[in-house]
């Protein structure tokens, strides 16, 4: 049953804070986000940095609303410029509304040419900061902005405590003084949003954290990985948590090691995971194929960045769908999933761990830099309640590890726990695991491995379906947020719209998807890559009518609801 | 399922029913036997033994044992073993393979396994050739061996010295055995399995088919007379002087073993609390 | 213009020789093949071995005809059993016609149960061989078979010289004596073929050799590789030839090294190649992606074997199409080709090297164990005459290595040969190669890389098209042989049939293919894998009508014309 | 196009116009400068220089030189360099990178490059950390360094000893420099480039941002007093005693260099003849 499409998107505000190296744009953004949470808003923060390894210019982009948010908006309603050095780098990333003011301190230089038509709000931050011991301009600016936005000063102070608390009392005191200095001189005179409903039960976390949490919920207790942007934070969050939970994280020498290490951990009975990004995923394909052939469950998180090759490590794109679906040599059925938003990372990862365990195969989960590194205020993410576990109990000795069963799933005894010993093998084998080059064994094992993946009852979670209009927007992964919001706008504008957001990409639930598509007259497949990877995949599976259209646009800029609405409108 | 207490097992009880694919006379047969003798001597429970390997003639060994086994992909046995041992410190983990598997494609994992010093054993059956792919030069092949069509004038590349590299990488136990000396080999396996930490056993295991000249090894091997210096610098000198034919323990040291504890100290619910606003 | 479909397939005979370890089945087969060539036949020989590394049971399968042959037949017309040990291993591989005789020496044991209905020809080979100094049963048997087949004894003796000549005179003399001993006692009384036209200009070679030759013709002078079955022979043939031609082969420590080594060689201006099989290809995907992004031409030969994972190293399958097409992370356009038969390996590899050089990208060429390891008697393979070379000449300093041109191809100066220096990069970059994370640079470079691949004029060689009937068989790579023969049979049976055999798989020549499909009423996509990889790819590109059917059957058994004819007939 | 004869170039003429992305104070700046000085001293023609690297802060170096460069993928610089040098023995090939690139993911190529002894130079800027990915432990990091969230109690793993491993693997030239000693560094680069064979220069190159404590290296480095034993066994002992802070040439030997000749001796047509029936 498709849910109803939520009514027209709630009012929201988007703020960008920019500055050069050391100006503290991200700190200000983080405090603002925490303050917004305290004040009862939902919100989302992304960051962007220049090419320098560290200390280069950076920007924090914050969007908030009394209702949950899943993507960035079309444009920014306020620009807070902490200085103007290298500002041009962010021009493309920060489209301003024509009436959006620029808030800045004229003591720090001229407003750049490109902004000359924006309304200006000038404040003497530098001077005020100088008057405070340890005073910092970014915090004074934040105080000003908070006041203009109508936030209570206490909320900002709570934010300071959250973000800077670990730096000690002196820092916090000085920061609070700065906030107040910026705040006191203002009246709230920017567009104001409907009053939010504060709820202390809400969470503030990143997608990488949510993904890690979901994995732990799914039972993962062993992780081996090699650092890579933008997956590292997921691992960094996991390392101490695993230890507390009686698990372990092993930093591998490379990705070939990490994928094979988790095969070892999983063979030993522990649900196991690795996380990487495109280049690392490429290196893992052989190991993932071994997981498929030896039927050893593992979860591989690919936090996608701009490709191909080294690409743009710090920016988001959805261009690893093809390698995830098709990147294994031989006929190698496996699972591919993608979370639909930051909160959904928790659900999707938990479900993916369970599916991998249940089906004794590899699950590749496609998150991305946007989901992974953005932080959000959201309602606590729900758990996946379906119990999915590994079938361990075997009866026979010698063990028929690759027994032909109706489901295709065979018992997988655990070393040290069962006398039904066996040798797992990536060579083609018979039921007992003995290498075989006979056609009948190959065919039977191929069919078994396919049957278990394709025949499983995945339930309703394979996609989120909302609305029922003849206009149908199909998407996957992190584009889902912008697509959802675009659909709401189209619907609000009188265009009944349906959205189908795929969470389970392989195996494709063909029949369910066909049913969900019934009656759709105009179809758009929307994704953030150049070549329309999902579009071609769906055509390959013969589920799309010939008139379906592809709207595919590569990174590094995020998909925005407005551009989707425009693209759809121009075609219908 | 609780493990049934192991009655006294004989060496042959550790063998599986699967007939080896090895050529008659292949050195790997003796490694298999010596291993079962070591298991029997140490009274190791079969359910607790996990043999891990890559790809190659030598890497086929796990299936010939009636223990747990993981026959993975080429070159990655040590990574699988490291993961398995981290997750399951209670198991007796033994990685096995060939010189191609371990020193060519698997060289990086060899370096890092030596450094990491986890408590498992690594047995390399070195026949100085890629047997499985029909006779190409491996890292341990003599530079002037011209029998491979891939390197018709020989590789011209100095040989990989497994013990010297293991020592430089930080290994804590290094021994050399010979499949023509099954009793000695079996003893080395016993010591290696008992050694707390990463134990590397370099086994000279001739390839009948592609290196028939290795039959002469019987005459060339000799007991190691280096002594086992405790001081790694001194040991390094001695091992660099090794002629590659010395049998015995070349180096043994007690060094810190890497192994996380795996004891739960908190609940996931507590961890989740931290996300609340 | 489609060529005409050759008339009904010529008469052919198929012979299988089987034996246990050391019995010399393959030697006998090799001599037979050489003898057949001498006698004027075209022919094909494949071999099969048991699981032992060496010296295990083996079989040689030889098919011959007065006309060129591209695949094995449906069944065997004669079985020569050198002994019966482990014969059951070959049962599936050697289907015998009901009237096909079994030729054997009863002194070597009972005919197995499964063959009890076959006609029998018993000969005292063992006794005769024993009478000859150094006598070998396999050669006596070969003499008998040659006589029964009506081959001249001299042809067999020439065969002996070709195959055993390098072992010295004594061996040859003894072998000839054996052949004569077997030969003399017989009259040709087996079905005989039309008289062939001998032609000493014909060649005898394997697909791996033809592929290697084609690469040399294309200009390859540097090869780096790691041994793997069934690609090794290609490398083994190349090593001394490269040396003679002023090139070099470097045995790498692993596949990660080999792909990156050839990137280095190619960056240095030398057309470069590596050859591998599925597991090695998996490991190379990251490097291939770097070739695409840095625009460094390389050729990667994948001699496919049964997958997934280690699979069945010694047997053939076409299941690496998906990884070859889609196995790179990011949007990474590149070339994928497949030779259609043994002789065509020379053409396709030469063309692929040229295309990679011309388009400065990676070309993956999908050969397979059947093509690679079979030996054939054939007309000398034609050369690819289109001159395709790398654009090296640059004008500017600093060099705009990734200049936006109409074709998308930019000048690639060679170190030491030009003052237009540059740094190649796998990070996204601007025209000069400077790393950039700007959306405009990413988009422009993505488009450039796509344009050069998709916009090139590939000419006619993208496919072989034969016949024009409403029944259309589409195939690729090594299945082409069986498909061609199936089409001939259907046509001969009054069913006008068209075949489209794709040589260039990526970029797909969509418009040309659509044109070639015009008027086709029944379509079958035929390939040797489980999941119909080409079928889904073609649907993904929206070139197939909805009623197209997939006939996909995995290895390890070769596709046979008869099963294709049956499959097609059962559906039309 | 013929190469224009190089007029005398100054060090700075070897720099490109591209501004480094490095943090202020990063040790890699000094490596860049020392390299240009060595080039100027040796009067190397810019067109004949090819700098090859992997991924990491240090691996960004090639673009900052006005030579040819190949900025490849993480860990594979030595493979690219080996291929390039095989195909183009006339070029001066220099591979550069970091400790993560070279000793972690690239460890296997390091081993085999040392063995193969091709005539090119390898410079590793070792800051005992993964700079580019924001501060994780590398193979050379101290086991008790707890500043990475990935290994909050430290890695607990013994450090990778680049010179000892290089020697065991068969390297023919091993030196250590320090980016805080630019003149010495430049001299080592000159010697390394001149050395016939694989020359490995281990450069201590501090990471300002993630390892600020490395500022103390200035006080800790000292000239190498080991002497350069010709005998590798003796050198092995000395190198094992190295405290990691000794600057200078640690080992140098003339050993056979791997390099195919690349002279054509026959035509393809002749080769094709052999296929005729
Ligand atoms: C990724 C990959 N590359 C190459 C191969 C081919 N291959 C299989 S075994 C082998 C070498 C085996 O040599 P070794 O490890 O010395 O074992 P041996 O057969 O000599 O006992 C190679 C190269 C493979 N299976 N996978
Ligand atoms: C295959 C792959 N894995 C991981 C990464 C992420 N990565 C980029 S640089 C780097 C480490 C760099 O460390 P080092 O080589 O020491 O250079 P430094 O930045 O310290 O100079 C890593 C892990 C990558 N780019 N590719
Ligand atoms: S080829 Fe060599 S290593 Fe392999 S089984 Fe035969 S003798 Fe043993
Ligand atoms: S992060 Fe460290 S290594 Fe990287 S540029 Fe900055 S100081 Fe240098
Ligand atoms: Mg070997
Ligand atoms: Mg570093």
Question: What residues of A are in contact with residue B68 (Cβ under 8 Å)?
Answer: 415, 421-423
Q: How far apart, in Å, do the first and last CA atoms of chain C sit?
A: 26
The answer to whether the CB atoms of A268 and B47 lie below 8 A apart is: no
Q: Give CA–CA dist B238/B235, Å, rounded.
A: 5
Query: Residue C1 pLDDT > 50, yes or no?
Result: no
- Distance (angstroms) between ligand 6 centre and the Cα of D26 equals 11
Closest-CA residue, ligand 2 atom 12, reads D56
Question: What residues of D are in contact with residue C244 (Cβ under 8 Å)?
Answer: 264-266, 271
Q: Is A116 exposed, middle or buried (0-12, 13-18, 19+ CB in 10 A)?
A: exposed
Indicate left, alpha or beta for C60 from its phi (over 0: left) and psi (-120 to 50: alpha): beta
Binding-site residues, ligand 3, Cβ < 6 A: B 22-23, 26, 28, 57, 127, 131, 207-210; C 53-54
Rounded average pLDDT over D215-237: 86
SS3 per-residue string spanning D74-129: CCCHHHHHHHHHHHCCCCEEEEEEEHHHHHHHCHHHHHHHHHHCCCCEEEEEECCC
pLDDT for residue C6: 62
Q: C450 Cβ partners below 8 Å, 6+ apart?
A: A530, A531, C331, C333, C408
Rounded average pLDDT over C549-567: 97
Q: Which pLDDT tens digit goes with each residue over C377-409?
A: 999 999 999 889 999 999 888 899 999 999 999
Give the CB-side neighbour count of residue C276, counting CA atoms within 13 A.
Answer: 29
Q: Give CA–CA dist A81/A95, Å, rounded.
A: 14
**% chain D with pLDDT above 70:** 96
Question: What residues of C are in contact with residue A437 (Cβ under 8 Å)?
Answer: 51, 306, 312, 314-315, 556
Q: What is the CA radius of gyration of chain A?
A: 25
**D2, part of any domain:** no
Q: Is the peptide bond before C276 cis (omega within 30 degrees of 0)?
A: no
* Mean pLDDT of the residues in chain B: 95
**D88, part of any domain:** yes
- Distance (angstroms) between ligand 6 centre and the Cα of D100 equals 5
Q: Which pLDDT tens digit goes with each residue over A23-80?
A: 999 999 999 999 999 999 999 999 998 888 887 889 999 999 999 999 999 999 999 9
**B128, part of any domain:** yes
Residue C273: other Cβ atoms inside 10 A: 35
CATH of the domain at D265: 3.40.50.970
CA angle centred on A529, ends D18 and A229, rounded to 5°: 55
Question: What residues of A are in contact with residue D64 (Cβ under 8 Å)?
Answer: none
pLDDT for residue C22: 86
Confidence of residue C8 (pLDDT cuts 50, 70, 90): very low
Indicate left, alpha or beta for C542 from its phi (over 0: left) and psi (-120 to 50: alpha): left
Ranges assigned E (strand) in C29-175: 42-49, 58-65, 78-81, 102-104, 120-122
User: Encoding tokens for residue C343?
Assistant: 């002789």
The shortest CB-CB distance from B21 to any of C52, C240, C255 is to: C52
pLDDT for residue C440: 96
pLDDT for residue A192: 75
**D128, part of any domain:** yes
Number of H helices and number of E strands within chain A? Answer: 17, 21
SS3 per-residue string spanning A209-243: HHHHHHHHHHCCCEEEECCCCCCHHHHHHHHHHHH
Q: How many domains does chain B have?
A: 1
Q: State which residue of chain C sits closest to A533, comparing Cα positions.
A: C331
pLDDT for residue C55: 77
Angle between helix D162-169 and D232-241 (nearest 10): 170
SS3 per-residue string spanning A68-91: CCCCCCCCECEEEECCCCCHHHHC
Phi, psi for C276 (deg, rounded to 5): -155, -170
Q: Which pLDDT tens digit goes with each residue over D135-186?
A: 999 999 999 999 999 999 999 999 999 999 999 999 999 999 999 999 999 9
User: Encoding tokens for residue C168?
Assistant: 């010295």
**% chain A with pLDDT above 70:** 98
pLDDT for residue A8: 46
* Mean pLDDT of the residues in chain A: 95
Ligand 2 atom with the shortest distance to the CA of D97:
15
Q: What are the residue ranges of helices labelled H in B66-170?
A: 77-87, 99, 107-116, 162-169
CB of A278 sitting under 6 A from ligand 2: no
Rounded average pLDDT over D76-105: 98
Q: Give CA–CA dist D150/A233, Å, rounded.
A: 9
User: Encoding tokens for residue C46?
Assistant: 């494949």
From A547-556, C257-266, D63-72, D229-238, the region with the lowest mean pLDDT: D229-238
The answer to whether the CB atoms of B139 and C254 lie below 8 A apart is: no
Q: How far apart, in Å, do the first and last CA atoms of chain B sit?
A: 44
Question: What residues of B are in contact with residue C232 (Cβ under 8 Å)?
Answer: 133-134, 136, 150
Higher pLDDT, B210 or C49: B210
DSSP state of B6: P
Q: Is the peptide bond before C126 cis (omega within 30 degrees of 0)?
A: no
**D80, part of any domain:** yes
pLDDT for residue C53: 84
**Buried-state track B196-207, b at ≥16 Cβ within 10 A, e below 16:** ebbbbbbbbbbb
| Beta carbon pairs, B and C, within 8 Å | 67
Q: Give CA–CA dist A390/B87, Å, rounded.
A: 16
Q: Give CA–CA dist B69/B61, Å, rounded.
A: 9
Chains near D (3 or more Cβ pairs under 8 Å): A, B, C
Confidence of residue A572 (pLDDT cuts 50, 70, 90): confident
**B151, part of any domain:** yes
pLDDT for residue A6: 62
The answer, for B111 touching chain C at a CB cutoff of 8 Å, is no
pLDDT for residue A54: 82
**D79, part of any domain:** yes
From A308-317, A531-540, B16-25, C187-196, the region with the lowest mean pLDDT: C187-196
Q: What is the CA radius of gyration of chain D?
A: 20
The answer, for C51 touching chain B at a CB cutoff of 8 Å, is yes
CB of A279 sitting under 6 A from ligand 2: yes
Q: Give CA–CA dist C343/C349, Å, rounded.
A: 11
pLDDT for residue B5: 52
**D244, part of any domain:** yes
Q: What are the residue ranges of helices labelled H in B65-210?
A: 77-87, 99, 107-116, 162-169, 182-194
pLDDT for residue A350: 98
Q: Do C453 and C504 meet the contact criterion of CB atoms below 8 Å apart?
A: no
Give the CB-side neighbour count of residue D219, counting CA atoms within 13 A.
Answer: 4
How far CA C563 is from CA of B259, C69, D81, in Å, comes to 57, 17, 50
From B110-114, B169-173, C549-553, D5-9, the region with the lowest mean pLDDT: D5-9
pLDDT for residue A1: 46
- Distance (angstroms) between ligand 3 centre and the Cα of B213 equals 13
Q: Do A335 and A362 meet the contact criterion of CB atoms below 8 Å apart?
A: yes
pLDDT for residue C21: 83
Collapsed DSSP state (helix, strand, coil) of residue A453:
helix
pLDDT for residue C5: 65
User: Encoding tokens for residue A134?
Assistant: 């340890």
Which residues pair with residue A464 across a beta bridge? Answer: A501
For the entire predicted model, the pTM comes to 0.98
pLDDT for residue C189: 73
* Mean pLDDT of the residues in chain D: 95
Alpha-carbon dihedral C452, C454, C455, C458, rounded to 10 degrees: 110
Q: Which pLDDT tens digit goes with each residue over A241-250?
A: 999 999 999 9
C window 370-399, beta carbon within 8 A of D? 377, 380, 393, 398
Q: Give CA–CA dist B257/C3, Å, rounded.
A: 71
Q: What is the CA radius of gyration of chain C?
A: 25
Q: Which domain holds residue D106?
A: 20-274
Ligand 4 atom with the shortest distance to the CA of D58:
3
From B36-50, B204-218, C192-206, C275-289, the region with the lowest mean pLDDT: C192-206
In a mutational test of the pocket of ligand 1, which residue from B30, B53, B131, B140 has the highest number of ligand atoms less than 8 Å from its CB?
B131
pLDDT for residue B228: 60
Helix (H) or strand (E) holding B240: helix B232-241
Q: C187 Cβ partners below 8 Å, 6+ apart?
A: C147, C148
Q: Give CA–CA dist C561/C71, Å, rounded.
A: 8
The answer to whether the CB atoms of C229 and B139 lie below 8 A apart is: no
The answer to whether the CB atoms of D83 and C261 lie below 8 A apart is: yes
Q: Which residues of chain B have pLDDT under 70?
A: 1-7, 226-229
The answer, for B237 touching chain D at a CB cutoff of 8 Å, is yes
Q: Do B172 and B255 meet the contact criterion of CB atoms below 8 Å apart?
A: yes
């Amino acid at each position: 049953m498709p849910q109803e499409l939520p009514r027209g998107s709630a009012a929201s505000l988007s703020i960008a804070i920019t500055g050069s190296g050391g100006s503290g744009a991200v700190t200000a953004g983080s405090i603002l986000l925490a303050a917004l949470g305290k004040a009862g808003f939902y919100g989302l923060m992304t960051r962007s940095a220049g090419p320098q390894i560290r200390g280069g210019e950076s920007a924090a982009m914050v969007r908030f609303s009394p209702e949950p948010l899943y993507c960035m908006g079309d444009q920014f309603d306020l620009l807070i410029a902490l200085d103007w050095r290298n500002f041009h780098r962010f021009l493309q990333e920060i489209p301003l509304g024509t009436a959006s003011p620029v808030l800045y301190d004229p003591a720090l230089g001229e407003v750049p040419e490109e902004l000359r038509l924006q309304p200006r709000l000038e404040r003497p931050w530098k001077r005020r900061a100088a008057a405070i011991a340890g005073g910092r301009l970014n915090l004074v600016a934040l105080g000003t902005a908070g006041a203009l936005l109508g936030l209570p000063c206490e909320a900002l102070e709570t934010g300071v405590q959250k973000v800077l608390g670990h730096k000690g009392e002196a820092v916090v005191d000085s920061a609070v003084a700065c906030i107040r200095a910026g705040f006191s001189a203002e009246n709230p005179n920017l567009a104001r949003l409907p009053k939010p409903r504060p709820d202390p039960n809400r969470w503030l976390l990143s997608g990488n954290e949510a993904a890690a949490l979901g994995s732990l919920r799914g039972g993962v207790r062993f992780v081996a990985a090699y650092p890579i942007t933008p997956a590292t934070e997921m691992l960094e969050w996991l390392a101490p948590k695993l230890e507390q939970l009686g698990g372990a994280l092993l930093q591998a020498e490379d990705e070939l090691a990490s994928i094979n290490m988790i095969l070892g951990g999983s063979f030993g009975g522990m649900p196991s995971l690795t996380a990487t990004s495109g280049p690392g995923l490429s290196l893992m394909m052989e190991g993932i194929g071994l997981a498929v052939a030896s039927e050893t469950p593992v979860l591989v998180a690919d936090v996608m960045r701009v490709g191909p090759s080294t690409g743009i490590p710090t920016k988001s794109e959805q261009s690893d769908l093809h390698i995830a679906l098709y990147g294994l040599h031989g006929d190698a059925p496996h699972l591919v999933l993608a979370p639909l938003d930051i909160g959904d990372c928790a659900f999707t990862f938990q479900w993916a761990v369970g599916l991998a365990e249940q089906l004794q195969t590899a699950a590749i989960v496609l998150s991305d830099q946007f989901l992974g590194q953005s932080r959000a205020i959201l309602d606590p993410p729900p758990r996946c309640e379906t119990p999915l576990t590994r079938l361990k109990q075997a009866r026979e000795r010698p063990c028929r590890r690759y027994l032909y069963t109706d489901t295709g799933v065979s018992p997988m005894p655990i070393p040290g726990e069962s006398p039904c010993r066996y040798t797992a093998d990536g060579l083609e084998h018979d039921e007992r695991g003995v290498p075989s080059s006979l056609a009948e064994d190959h065919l039977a094992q191929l069919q078994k491995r396919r049957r278990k993946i394709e025949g499983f009852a995945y339930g309703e979670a394979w996609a989120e379906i909302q609305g029922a209009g003849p206009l149908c927007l199909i998407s996957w992964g992190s584009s889902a947020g912008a697509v959802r919001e675009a659909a709401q706008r189209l619907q609000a504008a009188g265009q009944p719209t349906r959205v189908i957001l795929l969470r389970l990409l392989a195996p494709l639930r063909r029949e369910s998807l066909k049913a969900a598509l019934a009656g759709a007259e105009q179809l758009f497949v929307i994704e953030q890559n150049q070549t329309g990877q999902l579009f071609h995949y769906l055509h390959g599976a013969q589920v799309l009518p010939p008139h379906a259209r592809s709207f595919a646009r590569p990174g590094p800029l995020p998909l925005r609801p407005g551009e989707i609405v425009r693209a759809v409108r121009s075609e219908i | 399922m609780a493990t049934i207490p192991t009655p006294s097992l004989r060496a042959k009880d550790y063998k599986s029913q699967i007939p080896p694919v090895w050529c008659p006379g292949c050195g790997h047969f003796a490694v298999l036997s010596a291993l079962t003798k070591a298991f029997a001597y140490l009274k190791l429970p079969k359910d607790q033994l996990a043999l891990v390997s890559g790809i190659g003639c030598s890497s086929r060994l796990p299936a010939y044992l009636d223990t747990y086994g993981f026959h993975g992909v080429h070159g990655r046995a040590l990574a699988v073993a490291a993961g398995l041992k981290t997750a399951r410190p209670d198991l007796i983990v033994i990685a096995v393979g060939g010189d191609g598997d371990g020193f060519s494609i698997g060289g990086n994992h060899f370096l890092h396994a030596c450094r990491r010093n986890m408590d498992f054993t690594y047995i390399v059956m070195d026949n100085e050739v890629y047997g499985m792919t029909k006779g190409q030069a491996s890292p341990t092949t003599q530079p002037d061996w011209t029998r491979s069509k891939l390197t018709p004038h020989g590789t011209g590349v100095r040989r990989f010295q497994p013990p010297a590299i293991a020592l430089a990488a930080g290994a804590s136990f290094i021994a050399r055995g010979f499949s023509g000396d099954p009793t000695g080999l079996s003893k080395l396996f016993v010591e290696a399995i008992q050694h707390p930490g990463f134990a590397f056993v370099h086994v000279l295991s001739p390839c009948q088919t592609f290196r028939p000249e290795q039959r002469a090894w019987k005459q060339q091997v000799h007991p190691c007379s280096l002594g086992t210096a405790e001081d790694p610098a001194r040991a390094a000198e001695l091992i660099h002087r090794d002629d590659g034919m010395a049998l015995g323990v070349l180096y043994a040291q007690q060094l810190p073993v890497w192994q996380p504890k795996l004891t739960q100290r908190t609940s996931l619910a507590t961890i989740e609390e931290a996300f609340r606003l």
